[in-house]
Amino acid sequence: MALIATAAILMIAVPAALRWRLTWPEGREWKVVAASSSVPETLSVGETLRTDPTEWAIVRVARLGWMRVLGDADVTLQNTGGGRHRLALQRGTLRVRVWSPPFSIFISTPAGEVIDLGCEFLVTASDEQTELEVLSGWVQLENRYGEALVPEGALSVMVQDARPRVPVFKDAAAEFHDAVRTAEIDKNLDAIDTIVRTSRPRDVLTLLLLATRMPQERERLLLRAHELAPVLTDDELSEAIAWNDRSVWRWTGALPLPSPKDWKRNWRDALRPIF
């Protein structure tokens, strides 16, 4: 009977605790829990937190997690409440760790939006570009030209006048990373030789996404991806090469990557100490 009673209590308490964690009163300020110098103890809606190059601050993100503001930053809390929160990062670096459903945190930058999918990430913004490194889970980059989903362990870049760049895993060969960015930015087809030569099975995601953006090199990229991760049948591969993106997305979904919306699998992020 005691076990049954305990189970019943947990069935009530756990969902209630989760609801409490995921809700936040409209317009309530966020608490600054630590800082390298004298800054306000709270960050209110409409207020901007500025740090110089030698300063830092740690802010509690509602009840969802933490945000570390690194030197020479300019970040504004635009609105907060319920399950949605929005920041504007004009410049500088944020390290954000939250445990929450997708689309809980939006960060506007000069190049576009950074949207958390239940994760930990580093984002650095300037007038020229936004740089992203995903440490846990997934992050979505989005601007008026398109979007990019970036998984754990990967890097991406976003500028104002182009679609966000395809993700490249941080541990990829430097030659591979540089060639991917060259191919995207300059449409340099010679870079495809380096991409094909230096790619690994872990880089197949990059190959697939790049193939959807470079029609003239689609076949080479997909054939290399098939060598590294032969997921599709020969007929499906032919369809993918013939510009059937549904086959490419099916291929992407078969890679050993977690679902972007499976945020609960990162529950350890909620228990880890403040960085």
Average pLDDT over residues 141-159: 97
What b/e string do you get for 135-171 counting C-beta neighbours within 10 Å, with b at 16 or more? bbbbbbbbbeeeebbbbbbbbbbbbeebbbbbbbbee
User: pLDDT, tens digit, for every residue of 21-41?
Assistant: 677 899 999 999 999 887 888
Residue 196 confidence (pLDDT): 97
Return the H-helix or E-strand segment holding 45. none
Average pLDDT over residues 93-121: 95
Average pLDDT over residues 123-142: 97
The band of 170, judged by pLDDT with boundaries at 50, 70 and 90, is: very high
Burial grade of 236 (CB within 10 A; 0-12, 13-18, 19 or more): middle
Measured between alpha carbons, how far is 123 from 156 in angstroms, rounded to an integer? Answer: 10
Q: Please say whether the beta carbons of 251 and 232 come within 8 A.
A: yes
Average pLDDT over residues 68-87: 93
Average pLDDT over residues 251-272: 83
User: pLDDT, tens digit, for every residue of 202-260?
Assistant: 999 999 999 999 999 999 999 999 999 999 999 999 999 998 889 999 999 999 998 88
Average pLDDT over residues 142-165: 97
